[in-house]
Chains A and B, each alone.
Chain A
Amino acid sequence: MNQENAETTDQQQPTADNQASDDSRRDFMLKVSLGLGGLAAAAVAVPVVGALIAPLLEDKPEVWRTVGTTDQFRVGSTTLVKFENADPRAWAGETARTAAWVRRESDEDFIAFSVNCTHLGCPVRWEAEADLFMCPCHGGVYYRDGSVAAGPPPKPLPRYAIRVAQGHVQIGTAPIPITNFSDGQ
């Protein structure tokens, strides 16, 4: 059967009509293969790009973390507290931790400052005697209320949400504060 077919094909003389239909068939097949190739590439790209941008698609809830009882914070003092981020990965280990500087203004008023300098994010330290926050990287300095005292920081130290619940001081987890283009002017 096949052989017969082959023979008949062989015997056919190439005509202008045949040539044209060959060309259009080749053209069609080329388009099909290019299209299929593109589809295959897209099918692979979607999950790979998905893995890349996954962190943007996650919705991390804000959770309250207890960082101590109210009597651990003296009025007028600024204390380093450490807490776990919202929903950390099991393999995050110690990198799941975040620190904040908690200042007790009065009996009821607490402020929680981010430790991230608004210049380039380095960790500021509280110098209690000097009454200043100082950044080791480029010499940013902040007053005790977080406002800029000296150096390159473009804006005051960001704050975390903080509340007192039944004698416990709690901080609301939040993303690392990122300084934007317009903040720097």
Chain B
Amino acid sequence: MKTILRKMGDWLEDRTGLMAAIRPILNHLVPPGAKWAYVFGSATLFCFILQVVTGVGLALLYQPSSDAAYQSLQFITDQAVFGRVLRGIHFFGASGMVLFVGVHMIRVYIMAAYKYPREMNWLTGVLLLFLTIIMGFTGQLLRWDANGVWSSVVAAQNLGRIPLIGTTLARLLLGGDTIGGQSLSRFFAYHVFLFPALIFALVGLHLFLVIRNGISEPPKAGRPVDPKTYRAWYETMLKREGVPFWPNAAWRDALFGSLVILTIVGLAVVVGPPALTQPPDPSIVDTSPEPDWYMLPIFALFALVPPKTESYLIFFGPVLLVLALFALPFLSNRGERSPIRRPWAVFGVICVVIFVGALLVIGEIEPWSPRFDTKSVATLVSYQNPQLKRGAMLFYKKGCQYCHMVHGEGGLRGPNLSDIGRNWTANQLTVQIVNGGGNMPAYGGSLDKDELRDIVAFLSAQK
């Protein structure tokens, strides 16, 4: 038996030469220090392969049609065999891909692996980063629930802010003047054919460049990159102390990648995919669109920047970001690579991580959004004084409580008014309520005298 298999293998190798082509790639020498810090790129790749495989699985069950997609999502989630787990893996796989593409990028930046001769590795990596984010976003649209519909409107509005061609691009994205039958077909084509094809091509190029330029050796302080001598030095170093990629380095990739996939499957089974929101009917307005976690920092940023600067942020922000990332390996393609000698680089990374992390946290809290589901204070506190009771009910009914908190109930948009009566006089309160200001609507036109008096009395009692 063994000999037959061996003979078949030999025949196949003789006719195809596959192993002869692959073996040098598997066995190519890598720097001996390339250890655990180097597993994140391959983890991203494993996540991508996971997405392709589970994506095919989902496509077997999904209806890419505006009128049926939502029902097919319900079917996948509730009825299809292992459908819920499949959706879960695809969601957590996307999350993992976004996470590891970020970690991989940070690792490459901190170790300055983008310097000579690996500028193109960095550039293709930047493109893959953006493609990953685009895939995450378009994937979320394919859920085609209220969130998917409104997220695509938000995306169209973002494109609309691009000067001159904004409206045209927005219409192009939606596939027409409004959301409709054409919209989902487009998102499906982008998410399933166009962008994955680009990712395949760029991953191929990215990996080819990794082989061609070699895995960057772990940096050492006082060993700067000099483009004149680097390649010769790297070759000599590999010959002297290099180890074959397979199996000396690859086992870590395989181990970490397997753990990542098992974790993703575990999360899919235990936590499950994100729940569907309302059906994709654009005339249902009682919905609170909110993107998946990886888009939340951008969602939060749009709420927090001064509105006057927003058009500039939406248009110039991405343009400058892409230019800066592209320019990086050309502005700094030689010199020290060690993070110890590049403290500002490390500081910059820490700042970016804190910035994005803070936006993520605050995007999760959404303090800027009215709390439509808040409960009236009048249901929690029984007021003896009828005026206070009326005031408490008006405070809720007139929407004050959507943005202001009293006794732990209410929104976070405006100041907490739990002890407003201590520092503000009735007169000051009246003026503020009637005229608004400081990002508060003026209520002068919508409250009668008695209502105003009751609300002021209620607030004055908050001490």
Say yes or no: B183 contacts A95, CB within 8 Å: yes
Say yes or no: A97 contacts B156, CB within 8 Å: no
Is A120 located at the chain interface by the 8 A CB criterion?
Answer: yes
Say yes or no: B157 contacts A178, CB within 8 Å: yes
B228-265 vs A, Cβ < 8 Å mask (1 yes, 0 no) = 00000000000000000000000000000000000000
Is B326 located at the chain interface by the 8 A CB criterion?
Answer: no
CB proximity to B under 8 Å, residues A167-185:
174-176, 178-185
Complex Cα gap A52–B193 (Å): 14
B287-325 vs A, Cβ < 8 Å mask (1 yes, 0 no) = 111100000000100110001101100110000000000
Given A85-B178, A150-B441, A99–B283 Cβ distance below 8 Å? yes
**Which of A13-21, A28-36, A103-111, A135-143 lies at the interface?**
A135-143
**Which of A39-47, A126-134, A156-164 lies at the interface?**
A126-134
Is B166 located at the chain interface by the 8 A CB criterion?
Answer: yes
Complex Cα gap A144–B273 (Å): 39
Please give me the residue from chain A that is nearest to B439 by CB atom.
A150
B154-188 vs A, Cβ < 8 Å mask (1 yes, 0 no) = 10111011110011101110111111111110000
Is A90 located at the chain interface by the 8 A CB criterion?
Answer: yes
Say yes or no: B289 contacts A176, CB within 8 Å: no
Complex Cα gap A127–B370 (Å): 11
Say yes or no: B66 contacts A95, CB within 8 Å: yes
Given A56-B168, A120-B157, A115–B285 Cβ distance below 8 Å? yes
Is A121 located at the chain interface by the 8 A CB criterion?
Answer: yes
**Contact partners of B162 in chain A: CB under 8 A:** 181
A-B contact pairs, 30 of them (CB 8 A): A55-B174, A85-B177, A85-B178, A91-B67, A92-B180, A95-B66, A95-B67, A95-B280, A97-B283, A115-B283, A116-B153, A123-B282, A127-B402, A130-B398, A130-B446, A131-B446, A132-B399, A134-B372, A137-B299, A138-B369, A139-B403, A139-B413, A151-B368, A154-B311, A178-B157, A178-B170, A178-B171, A179-B157, A181-B166, A181-B315
Say yes or no: A152 contacts B303, CB within 8 Å: yes
Given A89-B180, A96-B181, A179–B283 Cβ distance below 8 Å? no
Is B279 located at the chain interface by the 8 A CB criterion?
Answer: yes
B305 nearest CB across to chain A (Å): 8
Q: Which of A60, A122, A182, A183 contacts B153 (CB 8 A)?
A: A122
Is B436 located at the chain interface by the 8 A CB criterion?
Answer: yes
Is B422 located at the chain interface by the 8 A CB criterion?
Answer: no
Complex Cα gap A174–B443 (Å): 32
Complex Cα gap A98–B282 (Å): 6
B304 nearest CB across to chain A (Å): 9
Say yes or no: A181 contacts B289, CB within 8 Å: no
Interface bracket on B = 35 or more
Say yes or no: A137 contacts B67, CB within 8 Å: no
Complex Cα gap A92–B315 (Å): 31
Say yes or no: B310 contacts A95, CB within 8 Å: no
Q: Which of B65, B284, B285, B310 contacts A124 (CB 8 A)?
A: B285
Q: Which of B67, B160, B282 contacts A99 (CB 8 A)?
A: B282
Say yes or no: A153 contacts B307, CB within 8 Å: yes
A141 nearest CB across to chain B (Å): 5
Is B408 located at the chain interface by the 8 A CB criterion?
Answer: no
Say yes or no: A136 contacts B372, CB within 8 Å: yes
Say yes or no: A122 contacts B282, CB within 8 Å: no
Say yes or no: A176 contacts B174, CB within 8 Å: yes
Complex Cα gap A123–B68 (Å): 23
**Contact partners of B364 in chain A: CB under 8 A:** none
Given A88-B180, A152-B303, A176-B156, A123–B150 Cβ distance below 8 Å? yes
| New contact pairs (11) apart from A85-B180, A120-B153, CB-CB < 8 Å | A89-B66, A95-B180, A120-B157, A123-B150, A123-B287, A124-B285, A130-B397, A139-B303, A141-B441, A178-B166, A180-B161
Q: Which of A82, A130, A154 contacts B283 (CB 8 A)?
A: A82
Given A95-B67, A121-B156, A149–B442 Cβ distance below 8 Å? yes
**Contact partners of A131 in chain B: CB under 8 A:** 443, 445-446
Q: Which of B149, B171, B174, B302 contacts A138 (CB 8 A)?
A: B302
Is A58 located at the chain interface by the 8 A CB criterion?
Answer: yes
**Contact partners of A80 in chain B: CB under 8 A:** 283, 285
Complex Cα gap A157–B310 (Å): 18
Say yes or no: B65 contacts A91, CB within 8 Å: yes
Say yes or no: A91 contacts B66, CB within 8 Å: yes
Complex Cα gap A104–B174 (Å): 31
Is B281 located at the chain interface by the 8 A CB criterion?
Answer: yes
B219 nearest CB across to chain A (Å): 42
B425 nearest CB across to chain A (Å): 24
**Contact partners of B286 in chain A: CB under 8 A:** 125
Complex Cα gap A183–B284 (Å): 27
**Contact partners of A7 in chain B: CB under 8 A:** none
Complex Cα gap A40–B398 (Å): 66
B189 nearest CB across to chain A (Å): 9
Is B440 located at the chain interface by the 8 A CB criterion?
Answer: yes
7 pairs of A and B residues whose beta carbons are closest in the complex: A93-B67, A89-B181, A130-B399, A184-B311, A175-B177, A149-B441, A131-B446
Given A56-B168, A130-B398, A138–B303 Cβ distance below 8 Å? yes
**Contact partners of A175 in chain B: CB under 8 A:** 171, 177-178
A65-91 vs B, Cβ < 8 Å mask (1 yes, 0 no) = 000000000000000101001101111
Q: Which of A91, A97, A121, A152 contacts B154 (CB 8 A)?
A: A121
Is A4 located at the chain interface by the 8 A CB criterion?
Answer: no
